[in-house]
Amino acid sequence: MTAAALFLLQNEAFIAYKEEMASDHLDVKSFDEWCGDRETKHPQFLYWSKSSQIRNSFPPIHEITKRRKLSDVCGGPGKHHTMSFSTCKGPVAAGA
């Protein structure tokens, strides 16, 4: 939820930046360039930007846990890529 809120705020700020630059007839930087400038000038922007990148590079913990339980019941390690709770016939799918 926090990542989604930060993403929306970041995009709103970038849109405001683009509108300001366009109204002044100035060149508009790309989103990545704009973020880089903000990260350099504002340590708090850098912190939240890097935190979002780290957070988004890992699956949520409930997904990791679900996959582990599935692989334990439905054929062992590595099988979880193609199975889901609805296709598994083990105790997890039966509600145990």
Average pLDDT over residues 22-40: 92
pLDDT of 80 above 70: no
Torsion angle of the four alpha carbons 50, 55, 58, 61, in this order, in degrees rounded to the nearest 10: 160
**Number of helices and strands in the chain (H, E):** 4, 0
Contact of 69 with 92, CB cutoff 8 Å: yes
Mean pLDDT estimate for the chain: 73
**Lowest-confidence segment of 4-18, 27-41, 43-57 by average pLDDT:** 43-57
Nearest to 16 by CA among 1, 47, 38: 38
Domain extents for the chain?
2-56, 61-96
pTM (2 decimals)? Answer: 0.54
pLDDT number for residue 85: 47
